[in-house]
């Protein structure tokens, strides 16, 4: 792991995402891993805010993808949880977005062959005290 952050609220989790936004550029890919309710979407809310998007940010569990435009950079938020094959991911236009946006992918480890080198993996854990541990690493 490169770095870990510990948060005690949704707002603190969003702040971690917001801080990361300044370090990202078009083509950055984030693989967000952790159980449901661990803070992945809260993190993306902060990421979007850090990029200058101030509209509503919601989980893409059912629509599978949300696009956030109007900020410093284009952000695309995927959720692969309900997908069962790489073809389904490609039908969402996944590869078309790789050089056009920052990609935040929940459950991206389901399809590791689709993740480009340099993908940053962010692991979310729920702690016994109700807080969250957010751990950053790079995918080999």
Query: pLDDT tens digits for 45-82?
Result: 999 999 999 899 988 888 899 999 988 999 999 999 99
Answer yes or no: is pLDDT of 1 > 60: no
Q: What backbone torsions phi and psi does residue 11 show, to the nearest 5 degrees?
A: -60, -40
CA–CA separation, 28 vs 35, rounded Å? Answer: 23
pLDDT at 98: 95
Residue carrying structure tokens 């695309």: 76
pLDDT at 38: 96
CA–CA separation, 12 vs 6, rounded Å? Answer: 9
Give the mean model confidence (pLDDT) for residues 93-121: 95
Burial of 12 (0-12, 13-18, 19+ CB in 10 A): middle
| Domain extent listing, the chain | 15-112
Answer yes or no: is pLDDT of 139 > 80: no
Question: Which one of 3.40.50.300, 3.40.50.1370, 3.40.718.10, 3.30.565.10 gives the CATH number of domain 15-112?
Answer: 3.40.50.300
pLDDT at 6: 97
pLDDT at 140: 44
Residue carrying structure tokens 């569990």: 61
């Amino acid at each position: 792991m490169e770095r870990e952050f510990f948060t005690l609220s949704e707002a603190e989790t969003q702040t971690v995402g917001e801080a990361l936004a300044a370090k990202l550029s078009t083509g950055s890919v984030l693989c967000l891993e952790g159980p449901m309710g661990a803070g992945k979407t809260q993190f993306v809310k902060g990421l979007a805010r850090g990029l200058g998007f101030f509209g509503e940010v919601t989980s893409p569990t059912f629509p599978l993808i949300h696009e956030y435009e109007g900020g410093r950079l284009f952000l695309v938020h995927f959720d692969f949880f309900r997908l069962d094959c790489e073809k389904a991911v490609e039908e969402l236009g996944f590869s078309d977005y790789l050089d056009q946006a920052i990609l935040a992918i929940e459950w991206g480890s389901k399809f590791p062959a689709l993740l480009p080198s340099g993908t940053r993996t962010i692991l979310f854990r729920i702690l016994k005290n109700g807080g969250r541990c957010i751990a950053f690493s790079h995918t080999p």
